[in-house]
Amino acid sequence: MYVLGIESSCDETAAAVVEGADRVLSSVIASQVAAHKPYGGVVPELASRMHVEAIVPVVTTAIQEAGIAVDDIQGVAATQGPGLVGALLVGFSFAKAFAWARNLPLAGVNHLEAHIHSLRLCRPAPEFPFIALVVSGGHTNIYHVLSDNRFELMGQTRDDAAGEAFDKVAKTLGLGYPGGPVIEAMAKNSDPGHITFPRSLLEKGSFDFSFSGLKSAVARYIHDHPLQNDQDRARVAAAFQAAVIDVVCEKLLAAARFRHCRQIGISGGVSANQTLVTALTRRAARHQIRVIAPPLSLCGDNAAMVAARGAVMIRDGQTCGLADDVFSRALNLSA
C-alpha cells in the first residue's frame, strides 16, 4: 500500500510516500529556518503563510520522486497534533481534501507517535518492547514502547524541553537560532570540565525532566562572568551540553533497567546531536543495552515518519473523517 504523508506541525512543510509501513520511497522537506532566524524563533503566523505557499509543490515533488502516479496512492496520513494550530491546519486540511476527493482512508497522526515510529524505519529496527525518547524543541518524553500501537509514558519535562533549553541558552550566548547545532559545534572547541552546571534528577525514581534550573544557572553564570570572547562562549556551551547529556543518559538508562529493556531509541530534532548519541551509546554499552538513533534525515520533523505511522493506523482501522480537527497539545498516546 502506498501512503502519502504530510507534516506541517511547526516550521517544516514536508511530504513523503511510503510503501507499507517501513519502505520510504520519497521524503521532501521545505524548511523555514532561514525565514524565522532573524526573529530568534518560530513566528506562528509566518509559519502558517509559508506552509500555504509550499504545500502543493512539496506534495507534488514527493509523489514524483516516489516514481508513482497520484492514482496509485491508497491512503493519506497527516500530522493532527500537537503543534502550532495554524500550521497544522494547512497540512491536515490539505490531507482531508486530498483523501476526500479520491475516497481514500485518512489517518490523523500524533506527532509524538510519528517520531517514535521513525525508529522502526531504522535498520536494524528496535524490537518490542523498547524504551524511546522523543526529544525536541517542544518535548522531552520517555516511553515504554510495547507495540506499534502501545506507548506507555514514563516521564516528561516539567518545564522546558531540552531543545527549547538549547535555543534559549544559544540566544543568551548570542549564538543565534536554532540553538542545538550551533551549541554542539561550539562545544567541540572546549572541555566541559571548565564549568560545572547543576544536574536536575528530581526525586528518586522519577523519569521526569527539568531544564529550567539549568537554563537559569547558565544565565547567572554569564551575569557573574561576562563573556569576553568565543573561548568563553565555548566553555559555557560545552558545560551546558554536558549537563543536558548527563541527565538524559541517566534517565534513559534508569528507565531501561526499570522495564528490563535491552534497547533504547532516541528520536526527535535533538537526536541529531551526535555528541548526545555517542555518549548515550557508550554508557549504554556498559549495561549491554543497544542504542538506536534514526539517520539525520529522520531526526527532525519529516513526513516519512508520519506516512509510516499512518500506514499502520490505516492497516488497523484507526482512521478519521472530515469532522476531525487538529490539536495543539499532546494527548495521551495509546495505552
Q: Strand 2-7's sheet: what is its strand order?
A: 23-31, 12-19, 2-7, 75-81, 106-110
Count of residues making up the chain = 335
d(CA 168, CA 170): 5
Look at residue 327 in the predicted model and tell me its pLDDT.
96
Q: Are strands 140-147 and 130-135 parallel, antiparallel or unpaired?
A: antiparallel
d(CA 252, CA 153): 13
Look at residue 331 in the predicted model and tell me its pLDDT.
59
* pTM for this entry: 0.93
CB distance 89 to 329 below 8 Å:
no
Spell out the domains of the chain, with CATH numbers in brackets.
Answer: 2-116+300-315 (3.30.420.40), 124-293 (3.30.420.40)
Listed in sequence order, the residues at least 6 apart from 183 whose beta carbon sits closer than 8 Å to its beta carbon are 166, 169, 170, 173, 175, 237, 240, 241
Listed in sequence order, the residues at least 6 apart from 249 whose beta carbon sits closer than 8 Å to its beta carbon are 279, 280, 283, 284
Cell 549504554, residue located? 284
Look at residue 165 in the predicted model and tell me its pLDDT.
96
Residue ranges for the chain with pLDDT beneath 50 = 335
CA 58 to each of CA 3, 52, 92, 186: distance values in angstroms, whole numbers, following the listed order: 15, 11, 14, 33
The b/e string for 289-328 (b: 16+ C-beta within 10 A; e otherwise) is: bbbbbbeeebbbbbbbbbbbbbbbbbbeebbbeeeeebbe
The letter for the amino acid at 45 is E
Q: Which residues pair with 30 in a beta bridge?
A: 13
Q: Which residues pair with 24 in a beta bridge?
A: 18
Nearest Cα residue to 269 out of 298, 299, 226: 299
